Structure 1
Amino acid sequence: MPLILGTRGSPLALAQAHMTAAAIEAAQGWAAGTVAIRIVKTTGDVVQDRPLAEIGGKAMWTRELDEVLLAGETHASVHSMKDVESERPDALCIAATLPRADVRDRLIGAESITALRQGAVVGTSSPRRGAQLLAVRPDLTIVTIRGNVDTRLAKLAAGECDATLLAAAGLDRLGKSGIGAAIDNMLSAPAQGAIGIECRADDTQTRTILATINDCATFDAVRAERAFTRALGGTCHSPVAALATIAADGSVVLRAQILSEDGADQIGDEARFAAGDDATPAALARAMLARAPTTIQRLFDAA
């Protein structure tokens, strides 16, 4: 029986699944096509007329994938890690991450944030992006748009908004690297640009296979960002940014930011710690919340 990867059916999800399959086949010396891909339709794909937080949060991207994985119908699930909730079932584990891509956002519809017209309408489903935009341009109007990359670009072309922000990594993986202007001064979402592969915790054979494609630097960075997010106790309504990098000595440097919904208040900080240390990023989260104003504190429920 071939290795079966579960994935959502969007063009980006499929591109990432095929990247993962190719990496496994190369690492194992298997022929192309040995790894099978199974498309699983998730609630998040079906319901696109409401913000994610209103239909159950990030679990709407993972619940159905979890079900087929736990049932043994797939061996692993391929995820955009920024869309995976920080609390996962004990029976599952993130076994590998591919090398991280560009973590930045790209602005489509204007050459820069400052170039947006006064009162411009920006479409995004991300509270982080909305808050970060409003922090520098409080005159902007933020509206919710959801859907895959092509759907969002079509809504922009139809005039539903003046501009939108999309992840550079997703655009690049879809062959759309020439679209939009990269934003260098906005801290990215936790785990943005990272592809994670999850399997059953007790499936030692699959875990061994996936270990051969794991990029340790990405894995350690994403682990730190997720530990920070988990300690915040945030939801899809909570504007939070976090980016970890690996220093020359192997330590992890984590920069983080939490904001009020309107971007008027924000707290930023950073920490340096050993790879695999979940306690320090968790402590950083709690310390940042402790000194945050009520406009931010009410958006989180620190663990």
Structure 2
Amino acid sequence: MSPSTTTTRFRMGTRPSPMAMEQTGRVETAFRSLHPHIDLEILQITSQGDQHRGPLAEIGGKGAFTRRADEHLLDGRVEATIACAKDTPGPHDRAPGITIGAVLPREDVRDVLVLPAGRPPATLDALPPGTRVGTSAPRRAALLKALHPQLIPVPIRGNADSRLAALDAGTLGADGMIAALAGLRRLDLADRASQILDPTVWLPAAGAGIVVIEHRADDHTTSCLLAPLSHAPTRALFDAERAALATLRGGCLTAASIHATLDEKTDRVTVYAVVLDPAGGTPLRTVTTGPASNPTAAGHQAGEQLLDAGANRLLGARP
């Protein structure tokens, strides 16, 4: 007998932000289509990251967005949780007993420049020296320093919609900000992009544009329910990027980019990995390839090559 006929109730947790609720709606639609006889309940879980407006380092980095969701999973209050892959901590920082049940199709990985409403569009190159550009990501701050040293990265916090409102009101503490294009699209605000940044130059984050569904590792019924939602090509990319990040022991405070691509004709994964200098100096780069049947090997190799090249020197650096 299949899990869908023996399970009558399924609880799925998500953050309460507008962006999280939009992606949850898409997951809910897909789940109900696959399992129409299951009573699906969506529970909103407010994370420490949603409540705390200071630097993430003060509350444990990316774990601030997943810690309470992990607690809900482990004590049985929900069967699964939904998250943006790039907002989850590195594998070495996760609570034991939690695993990935589904990886949804990858969306756009590109970042964009956003300016206050009503201001004429401009590019990073065209912004006046001293312009303050807001970001919460060390990767983005390091890229700004390396590629646009005339600009000043400043830390900002909050959900995408609240950041946009503060930017427009002049209360963000920045003259513009960097945001994820996929996130703006989820909010139907892609037209706020003043410049879409070239991902071959402005390097994307590991897990960019990927939504994952997690569950307890020992919950085989949930594993069976979620498996049909997973997109195999994106899962290969996700596994490669996470393997490289794990090898570097990276997390949200790491100025690094891991981006994998899949050539479906050759069935091979290519991993582009970069460790950035938080001060804006020369980054360390590597590229590896491997069979899509073992993407973690290609990711692990990329991480090892960066470590052999001296990545630890940059990984431990501060701006």
TM-score by length of 1: 0.93
- d(CA) in 2 for partners of 1:264 and 1:93? 36
Q: CA deviation at 1:111?
A: 2.6
Q: CA deviation at 1:142?
A: 1.0
Percent identical across equivalent pairs?
A: 35
- d(CA) in 1 for partners of 2:251 and 2:227? 30
Q: Aligned to 1:178, what secondary structure does the other structure show?
A: helix
The 8 Å contact of residues 269 and 295 in structure 2, kept in 1 or not, is answered as no
1:75 corresponds to which of 68, 74, 79 = 79
Q: CA RMSD in A?
A: 1.8
| Partner in structure 2 of residue 174 of structure 1 | 187
Q: Aligned to 2:125, what secondary structure does the other structure show?
A: coil
The 8 Å contact of residues 5 and 77 in structure 1, kept in 2 or not, is answered as yes
| Partner in structure 2 of residue 155 of structure 1 | 166
How many corresponding residue pairs? 297
Q: What runs of 5+ residues in structure 1 fail to find an aligned partner?
A: none
Q: Residues 18 and 137 from structure 1, CA distance in 2 versus in 1: closer, same or farther, beyond 3 angstroms?
A: same
- d(CA) in 2 for partners of 1:93 and 1:183? 32
| Partner in structure 1 of residue 236 of structure 2 | 220
| Partner in structure 2 of residue 14 of structure 1 | 21
| Partner in structure 2 of residue 230 of structure 1 | 246
| Partner in structure 2 of residue 43 of structure 1 | 48
Equivalent residue letter for 2:238: V
- d(CA) in 1 for partners of 2:218 and 2:225? 13
The 5 Å alignment of 1:196-211 reads 196-211=212-227
The 5 Å alignment of 1:55-94 reads 55-87=59-91, 88-94=94-100
Q: CA deviation at 1:213?
A: 0.8
The 8 Å contact of residues 265 and 293 in structure 1, kept in 2 or not, is answered as no
Q: Aligned to 1:208, what secondary structure does the other structure show?
A: helix
- d(CA) in 1 for partners of 2:106 and 2:296? 20
Q: Aligned to 1:35, what secondary structure does the other structure show?
A: strand
Equivalent residue letter for 1:21: E
Q: Residues 251 and 150 from structure 1, CA distance in 2 versus in 1: closer, same or farther, beyond 3 angstroms?
A: same
Q: CA deviation at 1:113?
A: 1.4
Equivalent residue letter for 2:178: L
Q: Which moves more between the two structures, 63-72 or 276-285? A: 276-285
| Partner in structure 1 of residue 11 of structure 2 | 4
Q: CA deviation at 1:115?
A: 1.6
Q: Aligned to 2:192, what secondary structure does the other structure show?
A: coil
| Partner in structure 2 of residue 264 of structure 1 | 281
- d(CA) in 2 for partners of 1:232 and 1:134? 22
| Partner in structure 2 of residue 106 of structure 1 | 112
Q: CA deviation at 1:29?
A: 4.1
